[in-house]
């Protein structure tokens, strides 16, 4: 990885610049301190003209969730007081790096949640990472030091397992929704395509807002990590709302009306979303 990062960066297309006004460069995605390689056999289950949910797609989605969780965990690690004698990451630079990481996490999620057909492929993962990198130039410049901070910082990943599971569940529903709507629209037996499109669009936007609401809440560094999870879940549930679950159930009914054997929406969206909201609501009631 070090050799790759020492090579002169290639500039992005003319006119593309980051928040600081500097020309964007195309770094070797998956080779920075933040991004992890996809744990798979390298085969793609994306077939032209079809949308599939297979092992490679799940691997990519899992990798995306790990990317986001790593950004969140690094942001929290920067909250810890600088060690004695440390001169590089003092309080002011740490605040600037936290702002970078927060913007990067939100940008990553926004791109991930906007995929319409549920096509999670290597290109989407790259777009997510490029969007995040564009928002965190200072963090990229300090990536080696941030990596060392994560390795040496005691408890830097404490409490992140719950956040990673939450993000996985939300992203999983969002991706299956895109897949299910694409399958539904391709059915010749679909009678009310206009309603299906409208319901799918509403629910897709709710899930995107839920993911984006979850991230800033989880990124807050003033509360304990246990409380942060509670606040993040509250924020996401507020965006989904009762209408979100009602829309998911209506879509499952439309799916069943086209073909009883089609259960992508019911099994991948409606049931998981109902389970998620129930789990979180019970958990919130217990902590209140």
User: What number of other Cβ atoms are within 10 A of residue 170's Cβ?
Assistant: 23
How much is the pTM?
0.71
pLDDT score of 181 more than 80:
yes
Evaluate whether residue 17 is within a structural domain. Answer: no
Nearest CA-CA partner of 114 in 64, 74, 164, 184: 64
Total domains in the chain come to 1
Evaluate whether residue 43 is within a structural domain. Answer: no
Evaluate whether residue 135 is within a structural domain. Answer: yes
Q: Which residue has the higher pLDDT, 220 or 280?
A: 280
- Residues 272, 265: Cα–Cα separation, whole Å: 10
Query: SS3 sequence, the chain?
Result: CHHHHHCCCEECCCCCECCCCCECEECCCCCCCCCCCCCCCCCCCCCCCCCCCCHHHHHHHHHHHHHHHHHHHHHHHCCCCCCCCCCCCCHHHHHHHHHHHHHHHHHHHHHHHCCCCCCCCHHHHHHHHHHHHHCCHHHHHCHHHHHHHHHHCCCCCCCHHHHHHHHHHHHHHHHHHHHHHHHHHCCCCCCCHHHHHHHHHHHHHHHHHHHHHHHHHHHCCCCCHHHHHHHHHHHHHHHHHHHHHHHHHHHHHHHHHHCCCCCHHHHHHHHHHHHHHHHHHHHHHHHC
Evaluate whether residue 18 is within a structural domain. Answer: no
Residue-averaged pLDDT of the chain: 76
Q: pLDDT class for 25, splitting at 50, 70, 90?
A: very low
Percent of the chain with pLDDT over 90: 26
Among 12-21, 230-239, 259-268, the range with the most confident prediction by mean pLDDT is 230-239
Q: Which residue has the higher pLDDT, 29 or 269?
A: 269
Q: pLDDT class for 286, splitting at 50, 70, 90?
A: confident
Mean pLDDT of 14-26: 46
Residue-number span of the structural domain to which 118 is assigned: 29-35+49-287
Evaluate whether residue 20 is within a structural domain. Answer: no
Q: Which residue has the higher pLDDT, 36 or 166?
A: 166
Q: Which residue has the higher pLDDT, 56 or 18?
A: 56
pLDDT score of 273 more than 80:
yes
Over residues 83-140, the pLDDT tens digits come to 554 544 666 688 889 899 999 998 998 888 877 665 678 888 999 999 999 999 999 9
Evaluate whether residue 85 is within a structural domain. Answer: yes
Q: Which residue has the higher pLDDT, 100 or 218?
A: 100
Q: Which residue has the higher pLDDT, 220 or 254?
A: 254
Evaluate whether residue 10 is within a structural domain. Answer: no
Given this model, what pLDDT does residue 41 score? 41
Among 179-193, 206-220, 240-254, the range with the most confident prediction by mean pLDDT is 240-254
Q: pLDDT class for 12, splitting at 50, 70, 90?
A: very low
Evaluate whether residue 236 is within a structural domain. Answer: yes
Residue 30 near residue 60 (C-beta atoms within 8 A): no
Given this model, what pLDDT does residue 56 score? 75
Lowest mean pLDDT among 74-88, 106-120, 221-235: 74-88
């Amino acid at each position: 990885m070090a050799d790759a990062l020492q090579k002169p960066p290639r500039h992005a297309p003319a006119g593309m610049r980051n928040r600081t006004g500097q020309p964007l460069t195309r770094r070797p995605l998956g080779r920075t301190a933040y991004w992890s390689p996809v744990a798979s056999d390298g085969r793609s289950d994306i077939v032209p003209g079809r949308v599939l949910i297979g092992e490679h797609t799940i691997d990519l989605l899992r990798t995306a969730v790990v990317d986001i969780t790593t950004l969140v965990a690094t942001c929290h690690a920067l909250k810890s007081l600088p060690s004695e004698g440390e001169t590089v990451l003092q309080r002011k630079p740490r605040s600037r790096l936290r702002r970078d990481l927060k913007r990067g996490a939100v940008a990553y999620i926004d791109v991930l949640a906007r995929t319409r057909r549920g096509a999670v492929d290597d290109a989407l993962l790259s777009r997510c990472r490029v969007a995040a990198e564009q928002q965190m130039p200072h963090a990229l410049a300090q990536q080696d030091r941030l990596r060392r901070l994560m390795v040496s910082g005691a408890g830097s990943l404490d409490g992140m397992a719950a956040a990673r599971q939450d993000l996985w569940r939300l992203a999983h529903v969002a991706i299956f929704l895109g897949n299910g709507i694409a399958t539904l629209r391709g059915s010749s037996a679909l009678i009310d395509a206009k309603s299906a499109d409208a319901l799918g669009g509403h629910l897709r936007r709710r899930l995107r807002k839920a993911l984006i609401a979850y991230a800033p809440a989880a990124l807050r560094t003033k509360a304990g990590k246990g409380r942060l999870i509670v606040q993040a879940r509250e924020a996401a549930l507020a965006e989904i709302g009762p209408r979100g679950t009602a829309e998911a159930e209506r879509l499952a009914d439309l799916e069943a009306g086209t073909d009883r054997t089609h259960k992508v929406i019911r099994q991948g969206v409606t049931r998981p979303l109902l389970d998620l909201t129930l789990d979180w609501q019970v958990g919130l009631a217990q902590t209140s």
